[in-house]
């Protein structure tokens, strides 16, 4: 860079070569700073684009996983409904119903009771 500056001084032959050379160095310095800033800006933009693409990819993957879980849940519900429709005695399905309800609600346990209302005399 200094050699280029001295070549410019020799080529231009200014009246004050030291002042000309100093201004030329300052100008080259500002140009170099601008180039470095542009480079950083481009790198930052590329990093943000990569991050955004990764985020979109992860979001899409998460949505696909949720959709798969929903499909599996819908399949389980429809299978259980079919069993209930085909069953003659619903008491046979009570243990399975308890497991089904616990699984769907995320509960650790599920209990089913039968309410028997006493018959009051009129």
Residue 100 tokens read as: 């089904």
Write a three-state SS string for 52-94: HHHHHHHHHHHHHHHHHHHHHHHHHHHHHHHHHHHCCCHHHHH
The full set of domain ranges for the chain reads 2-105
Residue 116 tokens read as: 């028997």
Residue 62's pLDDT is what? 94
Residue range 63-121, pLDDT digits in tens: 999 999 999 988 988 888 888 888 888 778 888 888 878 888 888 877 777 788 888 87
- Using CA atoms, how far apart are residues 121 and 77, in angstroms rounded to an integer? 42
Predicted TM-score of the model (pTM): 0.49
User: What is the residue-wise DSSP string for 24-49?
Assistant: HHHHHHHHHHHHHHHHHHHHHHHHHH
Q: Could you give the angle at which helices 17-86 and 94-105 cross, rounded to 10 degrees?
A: 160
Higher pLDDT, 115 or 50: 50
Residue 52's pLDDT is what? 92
């Amino acid at each position: 860079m200094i050699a280029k500056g001295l070549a410019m001084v020799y080529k231009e032959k200014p009246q004050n070569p030291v002042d000309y050379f100093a201004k030329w160095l300052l100008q080259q310095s500002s140009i170099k700073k601008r180039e470095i800033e542009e480079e950083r800006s481009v790198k930052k933009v590329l990093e943000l684009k990569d991050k955004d693409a990764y985020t979109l990819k992860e979001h899409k993957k998460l949505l696909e996983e949720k959709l798969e879980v929903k499909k599996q849940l819908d399949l389980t519900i429809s299978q259980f409904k079919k069993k209930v429709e085909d069953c003659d005695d619903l008491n046979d399905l009570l243990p399975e119903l308890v497991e089904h309800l616990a699984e769907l609600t995320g509960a650790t346990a599920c209990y089913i009771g039968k309410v028997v209302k006493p018959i009051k005399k009129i």
